[in-house]
């Protein structure tokens, strides 16, 4: 595929099947997957302080609990802190009401919670995030309003400084450029904080996903179990490793396959691009091929890197069904 075709048919955000498996590794993946929908809700919800509730009802991609989890992550207000807030709420707001100002108008919100603000009661536990919660409970609504508008409260000397500093998202609702910049930067930072082993685990999940899809489509004499190819080395010592290797078990002819799905941009795709030419030259000289499976909005922000990979590969596809089918056909034809 050429770059334009590759990007046009790409998934860009986690396919649901892949997102559900990734959820067992990282809470960040379903948030990344629904980032655009979350932004859309905030961009159009400036009419009243609760306009976002109606917007969520019209959005199939984001449930109330997933919206709340977005707010918690972006404002850096976690479960432990919220439990502490729920215990202190009567001290902070003695009459049970939060009086705040937005767009030059004064508003009042009355807290209705009867239970603690723990992750289970808020429906933001890992096991609950992908379940479709139909509506906001009193606890969920209270926490959303607090995170959105606490920094805008007036005449309240009991408000903790951390609320003033963190509960600021409401001020950006309706300001498309400001809210987009804030959300993008926060999720890049959060993704880096949850990097390391989590990034590696998510990488393995992507490889497993592609492997399982290909195994359903290629001939029985083609193996997808290894990560090295006999005789292929860059340093005359260690065999070069690939994310996947498709091998004809009879002829030993092989295809090294590299897999990358990045929703937030990072240097991984640049590293793969830097190695692409030498890998193709090495493999082709020994009668083998190299292929790439690339997707994710973060990767496509690095257009030059992807174009370099396309130029120095025998086949480049994305995570779409058509892309995987095309790769399976290439494997069967090359290794027949």
Instruction: Report DSSP letters for 78-90, one per residue.
Output: -HHHHHHHHHHHH
On whether both 103 and 231 belong to a single domain, the answer is no
pLDDT digit string, tens, across residues 278-322: 999 999 999 999 999 999 888 998 999 999 999 999 999 999 999
Angle of helix 35-43 versus helix 176-193 axis, rounded to 10: 150
Residue 43 placed within a domain: yes
Residue 22 is predicted with a pLDDT of 66
User: What CA–CA distance (Å, rounded) separates 176 from 155?
Assistant: 29
Final residue of a domain: which of 166, 193, 220?
A: 193
- List of long-range contacts for 23-28, beta carbons under 8 Å, 24+ apart: 23/126, 23/129, 23/130, 24/126, 25/198, 25/201, 25/202, 25/205, 26/194, 26/198, 26/201, 26/202, 27/69, 27/126, 27/129, 28/73, 28/187, 28/190, 28/191, 28/194, 28/198
Q: What is the three-class DSSP state of 2? A: coil
End-to-end Cα distance, the chain:
22
Together in a domain, 174 and 217: no
Is residue 266 in some structural domain? Answer: yes
User: Are 130 and 204 contained in the same domain?
Assistant: no
Backbone angles phi, psi at 207, to 5 degrees: -60, -45
Predicted pLDDT at 266: 65
For 335, residues 6+ apart whose C-beta sits below 8 A from its C-beta are 219, 222, 246, 247, 248, 251, 253, 254, 255
Cut 0.85: pTM above it: no
**Is 91 a domain residue?**
yes
Among the three residues 143, 159, 193, which one is the final residue of a domain in this structure? 193
- 175 and 73 share a domain? yes
Is 76 a domain residue?
A: yes
Phi-psi region of 35 (alpha: psi -120 to 50; beta: other; left: phi over 0): alpha
Asked, for residue 64, whether it belongs to a domain, the answer is: yes
Pairwise CA distance, residues 220 & 214, whole Å:
11
| CA 169/CA 335 separation, integer angstroms | 54
| Same-domain status, 89 and 220 | no
Q: Residues 64, 120: one domain?
A: yes
Note the pLDDT of residue 187.
78
Say yes or no: 223 and 152 in one domain: no
208 and 188 within one domain: no
The model's pLDDT over 54-81, given as tens digits with 9 standing for 90+, comes to: 999 988 778 999 999 999 989 988 888 8
Residues 188 and 267 in one domain: no
Kindly state whether residue 142 falls inside one of the protein's structural domains. Answer: yes
Cα dihedral value 298, 241, 284, 290, nearest 10: -30
User: What pLDDT was estimated at residue 197?
Assistant: 47
Is residue 55 within 8 A of residue 67, CB to CB? The reply is: no
CATH of the domain at 288: 3.40.1350
The reply to whether 185 falls in a domain is: yes
Both 56 and 164 in one domain: the answer is: yes
Residue 102 pairs in a beta bridge with: 105
- With residue 257 as reference, give the H or E element that holds it: strand 254-261
Half-sphere exposure of 230 (CA within 13 A, CB side): 6
The structural domain count of the chain equals 2
**Which of 193, 225, 249 is where one domain is finished?**
193
Residues 158 and 223 in one domain: no
The answer to the question of residue 16 being in a domain is: no
Q: Which domain holds residue 271?
A: 197-334
One domain, residues 219 and 182? no
Q: What is the pLDDT along the chain (336 residues), one digit of tens a residue?
A: 789 999 999 988 777 777 666 665 566 667 877 888 999 999 999 999 999 999 999 887 789 999 999 999 899 888 888 999 999 999 999 999 999 999 899 999 999 999 999 999 999 987 777 677 889 999 999 999 999 999 999 988 888 898 999 999 999 999 999 999 999 888 777 665 554 445 566 778 899 999 999 999 999 999 999 999 999 998 777 899 999 999 999 999 999 999 998 865 667 899 999 999 999 999 999 999 999 999 988 899 899 999 999 999 999 999 999 999 999 999 999 999
The H or E element that residue 166 is part of is helix 161-166
Calculate ∠ Cα 221-323-7, nearest 5°: 155
């Amino acid at each position: 595929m050429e770059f334009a075709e590759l990007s046009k048919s790409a998934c860009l955000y986690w396919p649901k099947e892949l997102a559900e498996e990734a959820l067992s590794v990282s809470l960040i993946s379903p948030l990344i997957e629904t980032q655009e929908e979350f932004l859309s809700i905030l961009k159009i919800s400036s009419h009243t302080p609760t306009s976002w509730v109606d917007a969520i009802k019209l959005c199939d991609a984001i449930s109330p609990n997933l919206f709340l989890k977005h707010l918690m992550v972006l404002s850096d207000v976690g479960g432990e802190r919220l439990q502490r807030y729920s215990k202190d709420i009567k001290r902070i707001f003695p009459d049970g009401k939060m009086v705040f100002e937005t767009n030059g108008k004064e508003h009042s919100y009355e807290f209705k919670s009867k239970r603690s603000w723990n992750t289970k009661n808020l429906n933001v536990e890992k096991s609950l995030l992908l379940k479709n919660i139909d509506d906001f409970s009193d606890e969920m609504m209270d926490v959303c309003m607090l995170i959105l508008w606490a920094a805008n409260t007036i005449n309240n000397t009991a408000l903790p400084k951390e609320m003033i500093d963190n509960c600021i998202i409401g001020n950006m609702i309706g300001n498309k450029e400001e809210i987009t910049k804030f959300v993008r930067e926060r999720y890049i930072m959060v993704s880096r904080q949850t990097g390391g082993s989590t990034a590696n685990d998510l990488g393995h999940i992507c490889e497993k996903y592609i492997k399982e899809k290909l195994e359903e489509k290629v001939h029985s004499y083609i193996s997808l179990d290894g990560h090295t190819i006999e005789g292929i080395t860059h340093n005359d010592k260690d065999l070069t490793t690939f994310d996947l290797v498709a091998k004809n078990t009879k002829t030993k002819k092989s295809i090294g396959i590299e897999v990358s799905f990045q929703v937030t941009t990072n240097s991984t795709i640049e590293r793969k691009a830097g190695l692409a030419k030498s890998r193709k030259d090495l493999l082709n000289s020994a009668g083998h091929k190299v292929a790439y499976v690339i997707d994710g909005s973060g990767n496509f922000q690095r257009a030059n890197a992807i174009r370099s990979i396309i130029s120095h590969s025998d086949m480049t596809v994305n995570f779409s069904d058509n892309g995987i089918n095309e790769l399976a056909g290439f494997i069967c034809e090359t290794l027949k």
